[in-house]
Structure 1
Amino acid sequence: MQQTTTHPEGRSPAAAPDPQNQHFLDRWFGVTRRGSTLRTELLAGVATFLAGMYIIVVNPAVLSAAGIPFTSALSATVLISFLSSLAMGLYARNPILVAPGMGMNALFTYTLVLGAGLSWEVALGCVFWSGVMFAVLAMFNVREAVIDAIPASLRYAITCGIGLFITFIGLQNAGFIVGSNATLVSLGTIDAQLTTFFIGLVATAIFVIQRFNGALIMGIALTTLLAAPMGHLWGDEVVVAWSGLAAWPDFGAVMQVDILGALKVAYLPFIFVMLFTNFFDALSCFMALSESAGDSLKDKNGNPRNLKRSMTVDAFASMIAAPLGTSAAQTFIESGAGVAQGGRTGLVAVVIALLFLPFLFLSPLLSLVPSIATAPALVMVGLFMMAPISKIDWTHFDQAFPAFLAIILMPLTYSITLGIAFGFMTFVLIKTLTGRISEIKPAMWITAALCVVMLATT
C-alpha cells in the first residue's frame, strides 16, 4: 500500500505542479516532491542556524586556549561551516548543519595541546589525517563493519563522557570550580563573576526548557550583557571590552597545519580517537535525524537518506578543517531544530551556509564575549550529550563497567583519549578473562593495542 505523505504544516500536499511552473529551487532540491514548501525550507534553515550558531563564538573560545588566535579561529569556524554546510545541501541534499563540533574542539585543545603537549599546528595535522581516514571509510562504505566491531555501550559512553568533560571545562572557565590542594577541586569564590555566570546558566536553561530558537546564543548574549558592568560598576576585572564592530577576516591560521609533523607512531592513538569520535557522532546524528522525520529522510531500505554522500561530506569537512585552522567539523544534532520545523531538503543546509558568511566580518564584535558567557553554553551542551546514558545496559556489568570507566575518567583525568583508552582496554580484558573472547571483534583488538602503545609512550 502506498503511504500518504502529510505536509509538515498539517495539510495534504496538492498534486505535483507542472515542472515548468515551479521555482528553480523547488525543482533543484525537490522541495514539493518531499512534501515541503520553499517557505518551510527557508524557515527551517533559519531555525537550525539559530540553534547552532553558538559555535561561532564557543569554538574560537575553546581553540584560543590551545594558542590559535581568537580572530583566526573565528574566521576558520565560519569558513568551514559555510563550505561544509553548502556541500551537505548541494551534494548530499540533506537538511543538516556541518560545523566544528563540540567534543572535537575539546579533544584538540585539552587533550592534544594542553594535555599531550603538541603544538596546535601538529594537532591540526592529526585532525587532517583523521579526516583522510574518515574519507577512506566513507568512500569504501565500510560503516557496517566498523559499527559491528565497537560495542554500543562504549559508543554511548564516549558521547556521555565527552559531555561531562565539556561541562567540567565550562564550570572551570566560569570559576565555578577551582583547584584545591586539599580536595583537588572546590567551589570558587562567590563574587561578581560567579554570580553572573550562575544567573546566565539558569537563564540559558530556561530558554532551552521553553524551546526558544537560538536558546544557547540567547544565553551567551544575556550573560555578556550582565558581565559588561564588571570592572566598571562592580568587581575588579574588566571582562567585556569594546574593540569595534567589524573588520576584515583574519586568515592567520590558514595553512599552518603541520601535516608531516603529525605522522608519528605516538600520535596514532590521537588520530584514531578523533576518527572514531567523529565517525560515530556523524552516523548517530544521521540516524537520529532520519528517525525524527519519519520516512521523509529515509531511503527505500529504511536507512538515512543519501547516507554515503552525507558521510563523505562530513569526512571531507573534517579533512579541510585543518588547513583552514580549526578542529574537525561534524554534523550537528541541532539540525533537528530545522527538521522539526518541516525542513526536508538540502535547501535548508544552503540557507544555513549563507547565514554564516556575514560573521566573517564581525570578529571585533564577537570578541566581546567573555569566557563566563560561553560557559553556560558549554554546560548545556554537556547536558545534551548525556542523553545516550539511558541506552547503556547497566544490568550487564561486562558492558556497564568499561562504559562507566570511559564516562568517569574523561573529566577526572582531563583527557578524552585516556577515558576512551581505559574503556576499550577494560572491555577487552574483561571479555578475555571471563571466557568471552569470541565477542571481541578484530577492530577492538587493534584499538586496544593502540591504546597500550599510547599509554606506554606518554
Structure 2
Amino acid sequence: MFSFSGLKKDQVSVSTEILAGISSFLATAYIIVVNPSILSQTGMPFSAVLTATVLVSFFSSLMMGLYANNPILVAPGMGLNAFFTFTAVLTDKLPWQVALGTVFWSGIFFLLLSVFNIRSYIVKAIPKPLRFAIAAGIGLFITMIGFANAGFIVASPATMVSLGKLSAPTLTFIAGLAITVILLIRNVKGSILTGIVITSLLAWPIGRWWGGSVPVITIQNIIASPDFSLLFELDLVNSLKWSLAPIILAFVFTDMFDSLSTFVGLAEAANLLDENGEPRNIRKSLIVDAFSTTIAGLTGSSPGTAYIESAVGIEQGGKTGLTAITGAFLFLPFLFLSPLLSAVPTIATAPALVLVGVFMMKPVVRINWNQLSEAFPAFLAMVLIPFTYSITQGIIWGFLSWTVLQIATGKFREISLALIIIDIFAILALIF
C-alpha cells in the first residue's frame, strides 16, 4: 500500500499527488489511441486492442502505486508494440495469437528474473553502448513507421524509399507535427495528446471539403461496450517453440532495458532514492513491470512498461504511489469510447510516433564515438533496426560484432559468461 512514510509532511499532500497523477495521465494518454492503431495492423480488432490497452494501463499503474509505491505509470510500451507488429507478426509471419503467447512467456521470464534478482547479472553483461544504441535504433524505427503511416515516405523501386507526394493527408500530418512540436517546446501539459486531437480535427474536412471524395474520418457512434474479444486468445503452446526463443528474449531484454533506464532516470531526476542511493523500490517496480507484460499477453496487447512521461507528474510534485493510482483510474472511462477513438486517423497518431523517436535518440550522446570498438557495434545495432525493419536483427548483430571486436582487440575481460550465452542465442536465431 502506498504511504507518505519517509517523506516530510511539507513535501507531499493528497491534492498534490492527485494533480500529479492527472498530469502524468495527460502525458501518457496518447497510448490509448496509438497502441491500437499500431497493433490493429496485425489483424487484431482496433476496439479490442483499445480495451486491452486500457486494462493493462489500469491494472499495471494501480499495482505500481499500491505495491511499489512509486509515482510511475505503466502502459503498453512504444517500441515494444512496433516490434510485436512489424517484426513478430508482419515480418516473421507469426499469427497474432502466437505473438501474444510470446508476450506472456516473456513476462513470466522477466518476472522470474526480477523475483530472483537474476536481472542484475544479465544487465551487467550488456555493454552500455549497446543499450544506448538499441534504444536509439528503436526510436528511428518508430519514426520511420510514423512517416510511413502518414504517407510522408513511401516505397520506391529505384531508391527503396522516397518522399511521398504532397497531398491533403500529408499536409495535415506536417501541420499536426509542427503544432505538436510547438506545444512540447512551450511545455503545454498533455502536448502529444493535444496534438493528436488537433490533427484529427484538421483531418475532418479531408474528403468532405477538400482533398478527394473519401472522408479520412467517419464516426458512427461515440460510446460502446468494451470489446473483450482478445481476452485469453493467446496461443500458449505454439509460442513455446524453440524457434521463437529469440522473439521472447527480445521482448525480455528490450522491456528490461527500457524499464531500468526509466526507473533510474526518474529516480535520479526526482531524488526518488533509498538510503543506499539506489532507485526506490526498484525490485518491486520491476516485478510490477513484469506483471504488466504478463497480463498484456492475456488481455491482447504488446508488453507493458514504465513510462518516462511520468516525469511530468513527478515534476508537479508526485512522490508516492497515489500519483500512479490516480493515473490508473483515469484510464478506465476510455473502455467505453472505442468507436470515437477508432475514428482517429493514422495521420493524427503519426506525429506522436515521429516525436517518440526524437525522445528515444537521447542516449546516443553517451556513446563514445571516438572508440571504434564500441562505436561500430553500437552504430550497427542502431541502424540495422530501421534498415532491416527488425529490432531482433539489430540486437543480434550488435551483440555479435561487439564480442568479435573485443576479442580482436584483446579485451577478453569485457566478455562475461552471460554475454557469451546471449551470443549463442543470437547465433541460433540466425540459423533457425
Q: TM (normalized to structure 2)?
A: 0.98
Q: Counterparts in 2 of 1:163-242, with a 5 A limit?
A: 163-236=139-212, 237-242=214-219
2: CA distance, partners of 1:447 / 1:69: 35
Q: Secondary structure at the match of 2:239?
A: coil
Counterpart of 1:255 in structure 2 is 232
Q: CA deviation at 1:26?
A: 9.1
Which segment drifts farther, 115-124 or 433-442?
433-442
Q: CA deviation at 1:436?
A: 2.1
1: CA distance, partners of 2:371 / 2:3: 51
Matched-pair contact (CA < 8 Å) for 1:26–1:32: no
Matched-pair contact (CA < 8 Å) for 1:100–1:327: yes
Counterpart of 1:15 in structure 2 is none
Match of 1:108 among 65, 68, 84: 84
User: Compared with structure 1, are the counterparts of its residues 171 and 27 closer, same or farther at alpha carbon in structure 2 (3 Å cutoff)?
Assistant: closer
Q: CA deviation at 1:428?
A: 1.1
Q: Secondary structure at the match of 2:347?
A: helix
Matched-pair contact (CA < 8 Å) for 1:29–1:93: no
Matched-pair contact (CA < 8 Å) for 2:368–2:374: yes
Counterpart of 1:441 in structure 2 is 416
Which segment drifts farther, 402-411 or 33-42?
33-42
2: CA distance, partners of 1:33 / 1:391: 38
Counterpart of 2:44 in structure 1 is 68
Counterpart of 2:398 in structure 1 is 423
User: Compared with structure 1, are the counterparts of its residues 27 and 283 closer, same or farther at alpha carbon in structure 2 (3 Å cutoff)?
Assistant: closer
Tell me if 1:55 matches 2:55. no
Q: CA deviation at 1:144?
A: 2.5
Query: How many residues of Structure 1 are paired with residues of Structure 2 in the alignment?
Result: 431
Q: For 1:21-52, what per-residue CA distance to the aligned partner results, in whole angstroms no more than 9, with x for missing partners?
A: xxxx9967777558211111011000000000
Counterpart of 2:245 in structure 1 is 268
Q: Counterparts in 2 of 1:337-356, with a 5 A limit?
A: 337-356=312-331
Code of the aligned partner of 1:51: A
Code of the aligned partner of 1:204: T
Counterpart of 2:301 in structure 1 is 326
Q: CA deviation at 1:456?
A: 1.4
1: CA distance, partners of 2:244 / 2:39: 19
Q: Secondary structure at the match of 2:139?
A: helix
Tell me if 1:281 matches 2:258. yes
Code of the aligned partner of 2:324: A
2: CA distance, partners of 1:147 / 1:280: 8
Structure showing greater radius of gyration is 1
Q: Secondary structure at the match of 1:330?
A: strand
Q: Secondary structure at the match of 1:99?
A: strand
Q: CA deviation at 1:434?
A: 2.4
Matched-pair contact (CA < 8 Å) for 2:50–2:338: yes
Structure 1 stretches of 4+ moved >3 Å: 25-34
Matched-pair contact (CA < 8 Å) for 2:131–2:257: yes
Q: Secondary structure at the match of 1:186?
A: strand
Counterpart of 1:9 in structure 2 is none
Considering only aligned residues, what root-mean-square deviation do their CA atoms show, in Å? 1.4
Structure 2: 5+ residue runs without aligned partners? none
Q: CA deviation at 1:250?
A: 0.2
2: CA distance, partners of 1:95 / 1:280: 19
Match of 1:97 among 68, 73, 83: 73
2: CA distance, partners of 1:27 / 1:157: 37
User: Compared with structure 1, are the counterparts of its residues 404 and 30 closer, same or farther at alpha carbon in structure 2 (3 Å cutoff)?
Assistant: same
Matched-pair contact (CA < 8 Å) for 2:200–2:344: yes
2: CA distance, partners of 1:32 / 1:246: 44
Q: Secondary structure at the match of 1:185?
A: strand
Percent identical among aligned pairs is 51
Counterpart of 1:14 in structure 2 is none
Q: CA deviation at 1:143?
A: 3.1
Q: Counterparts in 2 of 1:37-48, with a 5 A limit?
A: 37-48=13-24
User: Compared with structure 1, are the counterparts of its residues 26 and 283 closer, same or farther at alpha carbon in structure 2 (3 Å cutoff)?
Assistant: closer
2: CA distance, partners of 1:86 / 1:32: 24
Counterpart of 1:19 in structure 2 is none
Tell me if 1:124 matches 2:90. no
Q: TM (normalized to structure 1)?
A: 0.92
Code of the aligned partner of 2:162: S
Q: For 1:116-142, what per-residue CA distance to the aligned partner results, in whole angstroms no more than 9, with x for missing partners?
A: 000100001111111011001110123
Code of the aligned partner of 1:368: A
Q: Counterparts in 2 of 1:6-17, with a 5 A limit?
A: none
Q: CA deviation at 1:433?
A: 2.3
1: CA distance, partners of 2:305 / 2:279: 16
Which segment drifts farther, 140-149 or 358-367?
140-149
Q: For 1:382-441, what per-residue CA distance to the aligned partner results, in whole angstroms no more than 9, with x for missing partners?
A: 000001111111111111100000111111111111111111111111112222233111
Q: CA deviation at 1:146?
A: 1.7
Q: Secondary structure at the match of 1:65?
A: helix
2: CA distance, partners of 1:343 / 1:435: 48
2: CA distance, partners of 1:218 / 1:31: 34
